[in-house]
Amino acid sequence: MFLTHISSPNQSSQFILSTGKSRGKGAIVGAILGGLAFLLLLGLLALFWTWRSMKLKKPRRGDILGATELQGPTNFNYHDLKAATNNFSEKSKIGEGGFGDVFKGLLKNGKIVAVKRLSVMQTSRAKEDFESEVKLISNVQHRNLVRLLGCSRKGSECLLVYEYMANSSLDKFLYGERRGTLNWKQRFNIIVGMARGLAYLHQEFHVCIIHRDIKSSNVLLDDDFQPKIADFGLARLLPDDHSHLSTRFAGTLGYTAPEYAIHGQLSEKVDTYSFGIVILEIISGRKINDTRTEAETQYLLESAWKLYENEDVIKLVDGSLDHEEYMPEEVIRIIEIALLCTQSVVASRPTMSEVVVLLLSRNSPEILPTRPTFIDSISRVRGETSTSSSSTASKATASISHLSAR
């Protein structure tokens, strides 16, 4: 049939050429469509495997700590850690607190670590819960949180191995032996870093972790003076209903939110309150319960509020700071954020993710802070230290009976 339609050599040549072009176009279109179909299939397969892996890895919310699907911490040899800390000698001790003493350790590979020595209950349930908690903490990774590297167990004793922070804790730079060495930029970066670390614990990690004991001594500084919050997760975690009554007091009076210290009411806003107190310490260079002079009987929070009421809050700024390093408007804005965090009404306090936004904004908060609850100047709370025992919790409740929202 092809030949019967050829009427001349010229026509034949033209016909054959046209047919070749049509077949070439069809092959190209077919190849493109086939390639697109293949790529679409690969994309669908990739989406399926991603969804399947996420479903398998997602921790079960019903688990007590949500840690059943998480990778466990590194197991260190107990005797190696004992040798690394010179048998937990006083010379190696670099800190102490309600959860246990901390020792500087030099491992066999030359790595310097911080070893926290704890005593845990002997019951099988307590061991199981503690191991789940340690497993969970070891999976928390954020630039503003101290990393748990591993642990070791021997009888009732448990050793937690953390990354070592060369510059120690924040309190030493505010009102300790290294007071006055932090400039305004460093202080501001510490405030923002702390806020980001707490926002991660509260809202970005798959389980909400409430620290309960945010204070300057629990904020460590690395070589670049970046803050890293320590001791998170060692107290009980927030349950699914996001609010409960806790019979186990874990906090430090002065930093602890009134609703938790008095009534045991626990929520993320407990950490928000404590964070606000630390902001005031960072800006003023004063400790929360430091009255400075005999004539000045007000504690830091009360002083800050009265200066705010008198529109003279700039007087709170640490005298060791160079006035040319900061703008008064910025410092006043940060103090206002601190007062928002320490409000008496829990619901009025911002979440930590909201605090991060407020800190990074150049505008003053649109909402004005309300009067906080602070310790009366005649209170006997002065000098109380951190504890987690129920007996001290009772004593704490009795001591802060002078608390008032004035």
Q: Residue 225: left if φ>0, alpha if ψ -120 to 50, beta else—which one?
A: left
344 to 143, 190, 348: CA distances (angstroms): 31, 25, 8
Contact (CB, 8 A) for 99 and 234: yes
d(CA 96, CA 149) in angstroms, rounded, equals 19
Contact (CB, 8 A) for 250 and 235: yes
The residue among 300, 376, 292 whose CA lies nearest residue 338 is 300
* SS3 category, 287: coil
Name 58's Cβ contacts closer than 8 Å, sequence gap at least 6.
Answer: 69, 206
Token pair recorded at residue 273: 């309150």
Name 366's Cβ contacts closer than 8 Å, sequence gap at least 6.
Answer: none
Q: Please give the full DSSP string across 351-406, using - where no structure is assigned.
A: PHHHHHHHHH-SSPPSSPPPPBPB--TT-S-TT---B--HHHHHHHHHHGGG-B--
d(CA 127, CA 43) in angstroms, rounded, equals 45
d(CA 359, CA 198) in angstroms, rounded, equals 14
The residue among 82, 92, 220 whose CA lies nearest residue 159 is 82
Query: 25 a known binding residue?
Result: no
User: Which residue of the set 171, 213, 231, 318 is catalytic?
Assistant: 213
- Amino acid letter, 349: R
> Within a 10 A sphere around the Cβ of 37, how many other Cβ atoms?
10
Respond yes or no: is residue 80 known to be catalytic.
no
Going by the annotation, the residues of the binding site for ATP are: 116
Residues serving a catalytic function are 213
Per the annotation, binding residues are: 116
